[in-house]
Structure 1
Amino acid sequence: MAQKTAPDSTRRSERSRRAIYDAALALVGEVGFSKMTIEAIASRAGVGKQTVYRWWPSKGDVLLDAFLDLGGQAHAEANKDGEGADTPYEIPDTGDLEADLKFVLRATVDELVNPKYDAPYRALAAEGMLNPQLGAEFVERLLEPALQLYVKRLRAAQEAGQVAPDVDPRIALELWTGPVAQRWLQRTGPLTHEYADRLVEYALHGITPR
């Protein structure tokens, strides 16, 4: 009887890949990005370092893929009882722009203050400043897709007459995403739902008396 080597090989590769992801995420939280090495990732994952190098050129690339996979798992888990596990992220469109923006910005705050996401996200943000290639991938694969969800929602609001037609959605979204990112990166204050709500309110209604 012929051996079914291909399926077994595929399963082994997937197990190794998952172990490498888990190892990278664990190590960056335990020792930090600067002390994390390919050798340490391989040892923690129970694979040879050449296995890691075969798939990724650097520890930053490993961590980026691991972090993206972590977000995908969270999305699938959140939608396991519904029909959205395999669909792209979307900002809800209930017809109430303010409520929808508060909902998604609160979710962003919850993710940023979650220790599971905090260490790898900070490591990628910092390393992306020093490594232009990784920084470009970080923006292209992680940040920009998330920001484009805001663009899509704001354009829908423009079509509904809820946002002025001459507003550039790509600039407007920075009124609330920018302050959240700055407060998180620099730890200038607590990240809370209340803070997220105020940002949305100030962005939509302004700060001068009406």
Structure 2
Amino acid sequence: MDERHDVFIVGLNTDKHEAYACKRDKEIVRVAQGVYFRAGVDVDALFEQYGIRLAKYFFRSAALTHSTAWFRKPVGGRIFVGGDYPYKKVVAPYGGDCLIVQSMVHPKLDDVRMYQVVTFEDPLGSFEMHCATPEMTLIHLMDATKKNVEKHLPETEMEKMFQQLQEKYGSKSAALAELETIAQVADKTNEFERLLKHFFSQRRRS
């Protein structure tokens, strides 16, 4: 196998026959369907480096969401995507705690207010994946869930995101108006109401 790489994906930089032979010879380890890591290489480090590509490979019609959309990299061994059904994809259960978690958000990928195409790069090259915009990310962060705490962002990051939107739209009221419009189109009005309450309560405490 190509000595330059530590991750092998069937259909990209290996085929099933080569992968089978190298797995038999214990050169590589199967970490998920169609994906292999070089034996002896740190699983968490590989997931950190190649995780977004794996999310694209396994969830081709999904978009990065929540904290992953903001940081554009795994957070705490987790990658969050939005698609048409909920699903958890375990990667390399033998050597780490790495998950790609898909939430059911029915993303409108053709609406540039909600999702944008982002180019990523890793040692295998460049690739594109849809990513929630800061507007959509703020709305997603108000999902009513206590699971997967890695989905959420520290308050300082949420403030930074909202500040960017105020600069983009020219004022706080204009940013909130656009967020409300997007929430209505995305059928996320409850999340928008939580967002208003969240920022109001934060400012009242400060």
Structure-2-length-normalised TM-score: 0.29
Q: Which structure: greater strand fraction?
A: 2
Higher helix share: 1
CA radius of gyration, larger in: 1
Give the TM-score normalised by structure 1.
0.29
Q: Indicate the structure whose relative CO is greater, using CA pairs within 8 Å and at least 6 residues apart.
A: 1
